Amino acid sequence: MRAKYLQIAADLTNKIKHKQYVVGDFLPSEPALSELYNVSRETIRKALNELLDAGIIQKIKGKGSVVINAARIAFPISNIESFDELNKQKQMNAATKILELKDAQMPFIIRKHLSLTETAATYVARLRSINHEPIVVDEDYILKKYVPDISLEQAKSSLYHYFEHDLGIEIDYASKTITVEPASKDVMEQLHLTDTNLVVVVRSLTYLKDTSFFQYTISQHRPDKFKFVDFAHRKAKNGGLIL
């Protein structure tokens, strides 16, 4: 059974999804939610933090938790999560369609930038949908040096589960860049773009525990469905945190 705070977070998310609370509404106060769900305020805080991390609410000091644009999906930028993991975490009713799976070479710009000597890769292109609505086109180049073969079934489910649990690969970190760029005709059709020809492009270079380069990913997101949520701290000149 899921932890109580996760059950509460799921229930509140469902209420927001079904318009019991709409964008701009404040959720009931922590004491009111504590009484409603018959749990401690600490449990309510943990549940609300789940919604905060998912980009569903924003906490405003002295006022409470306000519902923000939940139609946009908050994609992780500061950490590494697979689409399958994100789907399970957020219960997004997601689906994956394989657009292409083939042997390839790592793109020239990456080969040159990283001075790669081994460049044979597997190319996987996948269309991601949520509630039957296309939102992301993912393109991955995975070095064959580490993953010699990828089956259609593995590409359709979770590649990271295959890499980490079946092959024992230790994925550690990634560098990411975010840009807004014109979409190709194919991507516009795949994402059902009609009002704009622009997409949010997230490019990722993923590395292993031993700092070896492993994977290059290009994710093209529908701009009306993309949301980047992160937390930043300003640091003092001596390296300490400014309070």
Instruction: Count other Cβ atoms within 10 Å, centred on residue 57.
Output: 25
E strands present in 33-93? 57-60, 64-67, 73-75
pLDDT in tens, 168-212: 999 988 888 899 999 999 999 999 998 889 999 999 999 998 889
User: Does 4-67 carry CATH code 1.10.10.10?
Assistant: yes
Strand pairing partners for 213?
A: 207
CA distances from 40 to 7, 31, 43, 71 (A): 14, 9, 5, 30
What are the pLDDT digits (tens) for 156-180? 888 988 999 999 999 988 888 899 9
Question: Is-above-0.85 flag for pTM?
Answer: no
In the chain, CATH 3.40.1410.10 sits at 75-228
155 contacts 98 by C-beta, under 8 angstroms:
yes
CATH topology of domain 75-228: Chorismate lyase (3.40.1410)
User: Cα separation of 148 and 133, whole Å?
Assistant: 33
Question: In the chain, where does the domain assigned CATH 1.10.10.10 lie?
Answer: 4-67
Q: Alpha carbon of 150 to those of 91, 117, 231: distances in Å?
A: 26, 21, 35
